[in-house]
Amino acid sequence: MSSFPQSPFGQDITAEDIVATMQNFKGWEDRYRQVIQWGKKLPQMPDDLKSDQVTVSGCESQVWLVSEQVEGKWHFCADSDARIVRGLIALVMAAYEGKSSAEIQSFDVDSYFEKLGLIAHLSPSRGNGLKAIVEKIKQLSA
């Protein structure tokens, strides 16, 4: 069993569920509010896990990401000092938490983000930061 705090959604909510929820919203403001709500459900990363060694570079806000592999499945614990980034991390966790290396490497994250209708509404630095988090997960699980 993973020694990290549980995923914000347990294993119950998948990337597909996130897409379905987001596509029900008409406007960007409603999507934005939902992302922040998901971020509030993201467990706080214990302070003893936060260090410069686990900081994700390429993010404007502070982002910490640690991982462990248990019985062939990857588990991640991530946090940020920014509310919207916590929400974006929650979206990423829904896609990658509890998956195998092969599932992580083959997941079409660009298509996922496109279906969410997010990237166009994020500042370039937030979009780059989001991509940096995904790249870090892919590196760790390779």
CATH number for 77 = 3.90.1010.10
Percent over 90 (pLDDT), the chain: 60
Would you say residue 10 lies in a domain?
Answer: no
Would you say residue 5 lies in a domain?
Answer: no
pLDDT single digits (tens) 123-136: 888 888 899 999 99
6 DSSP assignment: P
Please tell me the predicted confidence (pLDDT) of residue 103. Answer: 97
Total domains present in the chain: 1
Would you say residue 4 lies in a domain?
Answer: no
pLDDT single digits (tens) 38-54: 999 888 888 999 999 99
Q: Give the integer Cα–Cα distance in Å for 33 and 53.
A: 31
Q: Give the integer Cα–Cα distance in Å for 125 and 25.
A: 24
- Domain span at residue 35 reads 15-141
Q: Give the integer Cα–Cα distance in Å for 135 and 4.
A: 21
Would you say residue 44 lies in a domain?
Answer: yes
Is the pLDDT confidence value at 8 over 60? no
Active-site positions read 59
Would you say residue 129 lies in a domain?
Answer: yes
Please tell me the predicted confidence (pLDDT) of residue 78. Answer: 92
Would you say residue 56 lies in a domain?
Answer: yes
